[in-house]
Amino acid sequence: MTKAVAGVLLSMSVCLAACSTPSEHFNLPQGKEAYQVIPPERIEADQVAYRINPLDSLTITVFREPDLAVREAPVEAGGGLVLPLIGEVHAVGRTSTELAAVIETELRKRGLRQPHVSVIIASTKTQNVVVDGAVQEAGVYQLLGSTTLLQSIAMAKGANRVAQLDRVAIFRTVNGVRSGALFDVLAIREGRSPDPYIQSGDYVIVGSSSTKSRYYDVLSILPAFGLFIPLLVN
């Protein structure tokens, strides 16, 4: 074995030994206490209906009236939305169903018989969750309707190979106070624990095993030294 190989292997063994301790421990409540911080509230359908926010983009269609359709129309900061034939309507704070009903009423006032309006949230810039840590694609993701912890991880393309799924943190700010809790995603997947709902502004961090992480980091360096299994056993 060459000195270069021996040096790399020694570094690798030292790294693995130093990383044999569990991953960083968040000083956060876990188990039943976690659900006191992030409630697993069962939200009824009328509670989870998304309400339109400023700067959202809406796609609105009117059955058999293509000239009245708008695609990805931006909601103004003041809450208004300009539509063909109608002009400006107030959109902010309303659900898609409520806004559709308002538009139908306005169209009837203008002589359209039995209009059928569909309102779709094309995009939103105000309802987001940050998913970070040991996931495939960390980033900021839009929330459309109700979203659970499992669904938020799925939006980030799932956990990666060094994920520690029994240590997934949710951080939330309520009335200016930031708090957090740790959840066991494996228990949630198996139905042994509730799947908490995510709110806009939440920060989800999937923990990682430092042992696995450092091991894969070392493996990623080895090809640069031209190391292969037959060489290591010489």
The pTM assigned to this predicted structure is 0.54
Residue 223 is part of which domain span?
1-22+210-234
Residue where a domain terminates, one of 105, 123, 141: 123
Residue 61, pLDDT > 90, answer yes
Higher-confidence residue: 217 or 55? Answer: 55
Mean pLDDT of 14-26: 41
Q: Determine how β-strand 177-183 pairs with β-strand 163-174.
A: antiparallel
Residue 195, pLDDT > 50, answer yes
Task: Give yes or no: residues 33 and 149 share one domain.
Answer: yes
Question: In DSSP terms, which residues pair with 58 in a beta bridge?
Answer: 73, 121
How much is the pLDDT for 12? Answer: 43
How much is the pLDDT for 50? Answer: 75
Instruction: Return the closest-CA partner of residue 60 out of 124, 108, 119.
Output: 119
Q: How confident is the model at residue 220 (pLDDT cuts 50, 70, 90)?
A: very low
Mean pLDDT of 34-51: 70
pLDDT in tens, 103-153: 999 999 999 999 999 999 998 877 789 999 999 999 989 887 789 999 999
What does the alpha-carbon distance between residue 32 and residue 186 come to, in Å, rounded to a whole number? 15
Residue 11, pLDDT > 70, answer no
Task: Give yes or no: residues 181 and 197 share one domain.
Answer: yes
Higher-confidence residue: 104 or 213? Answer: 104
Residue 228, pLDDT > 70, answer no
Task: Give yes or no: residues 202 and 131 share one domain.
Answer: yes
Residues in the chain: 234
- Return the sign of the alpha-carbon dihedral for residues 184, 188, 192, 193: positive
Residue 182, pLDDT > 80, answer yes
Contacts of 109 (CB under 8 A, 6+ apart): none
Q: How confident is the model at residue 210 (pLDDT cuts 50, 70, 90)?
A: low
Radius of gyration of the chain (CA): 26
Percent of the chain with pLDDT over 70: 74
What does the alpha-carbon distance between residue 14 and residue 205 come to, in Å, rounded to a whole number? 28
Residue 60, pLDDT > 50, answer yes
Residue where a domain terminates, one of 90, 123, 156: 123
Task: Give yes or no: residues 134 and 202 share one domain.
Answer: yes
Q: E strand or H helix at 36, and its extent?
A: helix 34-37
Domain count, the chain: 3
Task: Give yes or no: residues 173 and 74 share one domain.
Answer: no
Residue 62, pLDDT > 60, answer yes
How much is the pLDDT for 144? Answer: 72
Q: How confident is the model at residue 75 (pLDDT cuts 50, 70, 90)?
A: very high
What does the alpha-carbon distance between residue 122 and residue 51 come to, in Å, rounded to a whole number? 13
Whether 83 contacts 89, CB under 8 Å:
yes
Q: What is the CATH number of the domain that holds 174?
A: 3.10.560.10
Higher-confidence residue: 222 or 170? Answer: 170
Residue where a domain terminates, one of 123, 154, 176: 123
Instruction: Return the closest-CA partner of residue 33 out of 177, 143, 184.
Output: 184
Whether 167 contacts 152, CB under 8 Å:
no
Residue 91, pLDDT > 70, answer yes
Mean pLDDT rounded to a whole number for the chain: 79
Q: How confident is the model at residue 8 (pLDDT cuts 50, 70, 90)?
A: very low
